Structure 1
Amino acid sequence: MALVVTAALTVALAGCQQSSGDGDGDRDGDGEGRPTASAPAPTRASGYGVVFLGIDECSSFGRESFTEVPCTSERAAARVIARYDGRAGEGQPCPATTDFVLHISEQKPSADEDGDGAVPQGYACMRNLEPPHPGDPGGGGGPRTIVGDCVYSAGAGEVRETACDSTAEKNPEYKVTEAVERRSDCPASAELYVQLGGPRPVGCARPL
C-alpha cells in the first residue's frame, strides 16, 4: 500500500493509505478513522450458509474468486473477523491485523439470509487461518499500516509498506514506532511521519 508521509521539518502533505485493486475477492485498504458517508452495522453471523461470509465463517483460498466453505473444510483458508455492508472506502475500517479484504458484489442467489433473494454489496475483513499473516505488525501487508510496520521510500512524498525482516523485494527503511495525536508528540528519533488516521493519526517512524 502507498502512504503519504512527511519528513521532519517539511510541510505536511495530505493523503491517506490506499492499496490498489477492486472487484470480487481482491485486496483494498481503508485507513482508521476514514471519513464515511454512513456507518453501516456489521452483518450478524448466523452459521455457515445463512449469511454469506458472516463473522467467524470461512472462505476458500483465492483473491480473484472465492467461495464460502465450512471452517472445518480442507479448502478453508481464511476466516471473517469483521463484515460490513457497502463499500470498503466508505464504511467502517477493518480491524488492525486484517490480512486482506474481500469485496462482495451484490448477488441474487436462490436463497439468502432474509429471504429476499439478494446478497447486498459489502466487504469482509479476512484473517488467514495459518501463517503468514501480512496484517500483523511488521508483516509487510494488510489493508492498514499500524505501529510495528516498516516502510520504504516510494518517491514523491510516498512510502510503501514492506516486511520488517527484509524478506520482501524491498528492504525496510523506516519503522513506525508510535501512533500519536500530533507530530509534536513524536519522539526526537522520528524522522518520518506516516498518516494513519483515527484518534491517533500520526505514525512516528524512525530510520532503520
Structure 2
Amino acid sequence: MAVQGGPQDPPRKEPGCLRGLVALVVFVGIVYAIWWFTGGKDSDDEASSTPSVSASATGDGGGSSGEWQVGDCGGPDPDRAPRGYQAFDCDDSDATFKALKIMDGSILSAAVQCPAGTDVIIEVSMSFGSDERTSGGIPTDTVCGRNLSDDHPGDAGAGGGQLVKGDCVAADVQEIACDKAGSGDFKVLGLVDAGTARCPSGTTDPIQLTIVVGRPYDTVCGREL
C-alpha cells in the first residue's frame, strides 16, 4: 500500500509479458510506419484494445470550413464499408456519432489518447490513388466520437473503448466493466509515464506495461478492489 506523501512501491511488471529490446522497438516502429503509408491501416488486423477505427478517404467534416470540428456528426459511408465514415447533419437518420474532440493525426495509433466517453475513433487521412477504399494516406486528424445512441462502451468503467482513468482492469491488465469486477481486479486511478510523473495517492498496484511505440503512458496506477 502506497503511503500518501511517502515513496511509492516500485511498479510491478505487466503479468506474462517481457520488455523488448530497444533496437527491436525501433525496428517495429519503422515497419509500422511503412505499413501505414502503404495502406495497411485498412486491413482487418485492428488492435482489440481500442475502439472502432477507420481511415476517412476525404477528410471532409461537417463544418463550413470543410474540416472536422467538435460537435460535428458522422456515420458509416456505405461506399467505403466497412471502415469508411462520412459527415452527416446531426439530425440525419444516418448519423451515428458526434465529435467530442479533434486531435492531430498520427502514424502511431497508440499515440492518440481520446478522452473518456469516446466510443469510436475516426482516423482522417489525406488519401492517394484512384481507389480510396484501399489506398493509404497521410493521417491529418483524429476524431474522437461519442455514439448518438444510448450505447456508450467508452464511458469510464463501462468496459470498452481506450483505457482511461476510472476504468477497471483484470490482473492481466485487460479492461473489464467495473460492475463485473471483483477481488483481484483493479480500479484505474491514473495512466502515467513513470519517468515524468508519479501515481496518485491511493494507488496500491502501479503496473508497468510492455513498451508500445507512441503510447503516452507506461504505467497503470491501479487500486486493488
Q: TM-score range by the shorter chain?
A: 0.5 to 0.7
Q: 5 Å matches for 1:183-198?
A: 183=199, 186-187=201-202, 190-193=204-207, 197=216
Which residue in 1 is equivalent to 2:114? 94
5+ residue gaps, structure 2 = 1-8, 21-39, 51-58, 129-136, 210-214
Q: TM-score when scaled to structure 2?
A: 0.53
Shift of 1:204: 2.9
Q: 1:103 to 1:73 in 2, by over 3 A?
A: same
Structure 1 CA distance, aligned partners of 2:148 and 2:139?
26
Match of 1:18 in 2: none
Secondary structure, aligned partner of 1:84: strand
Deviation at 1:164, TM superposition (A): 1.4
Runs of 4+ deviating beyond 4 Å:
8-15, 26-29, 194-198
Q: Alignment partner for residue 198 of structure 2, among 176, 182, 185?
A: 182
Answer yes or no: is 1:133 the counterpart of 2:147.
no
Residues 1:52 and 1:119: Cα distance change in structure 2 (over 3 Å): farther
How far is 1:87 from its partner?
Answer: 1.7
2:10–2:206 Cα contact (<8 Å) kept: no
Residues 86 and 75 (structure 1), Cα distance of their counterparts in 2 relative to 1, 3 Å cut: same
What's the TM-score, normalizing by structure 1? 0.56
- The two structures, once aligned, show a CA RMSD in angstroms of 4.2
Cα deviation, residue 23, structure 1: 3.4
Deviation track 1:142-197 (CA, whole Å, cap 9, x = no partner) reads 22x2222011233xxxx11121123xxxx6652325237325x5437x23536694
How many residues get paired?
162
Find the residue that maps to 2:178 and give its secondary structure: coil
- Structure 1 range deviating more: 55-64 or 130-139: 55-64
Partner AA of 2:98 in structure 1: R
Give the 3 Å change call, closer, same or farther, for CA 102–10 of structure 1 in structure 2.
Answer: closer
Q: Greater helix percent: which structure? A: 2
Amino acid of the residue matched to residue 121 of structure 1? T
Counting aligned pairs with the same residue, the percent is 26
The counterpart of 1:164, out of the listed 169, 172, 178, is: 178
